[in-house]
Amino acid sequence: MDIGGFQRLIAETYLDRDFRRGKMGTYAWLVEEVGELSRALRKEDFDSLREEFADVFAWLASLANLCGVELDEAAEKYAGGCPKCNAIPCACPEGHAGF
């Protein structure tokens, strides 16, 4: 599944609920899922990591839908590699790339 297809699937599945929850409510759920991802990272639990990455991605797609942002278009920022130095791999000095 590509990014745009995933985002459309999330919209078809959850957009009505997302509208009722609103942007800030949806953002709060995204932040909660990032916290769960953090806990899974500390435990180094691969099965939990996969699940939490999926949840973070789904909530990010929900928030993007509410904001009118197409994630596949947003990802184009990185299509040429590092958006600061345009290199693959990044050639920016450590701490200067912002990533």
CATH assignment of 3-68, among 1.10.287.1080, 3.90.100.10, 3.30.70.20, 2.170.190.11: 1.10.287.1080
Look at residue 97 in the predicted model and tell me its pLDDT.
58
Distance CA 99, CA 92 (A): 10
**DSSP classification of residue 22:** H
Distance CA 80, CA 10 (A): 27
Q: What is the value of pTM for the model shown?
A: 0.90
Look at residue 81 in the predicted model and tell me its pLDDT.
95
Place of tokens 């912002």: 98
Q: What is the pLDDT of residues 59-80, one digit of tens each?
A: 999 999 999 999 999 999 999 9
Does 98 score more than 90 pLDDT? Answer: no
Local confidence band at 99 (pLDDT 50, 70, 90 cut-offs): low
Domain range list for the chain? 3-68
Please, what is the average pLDDT of the chain? 95
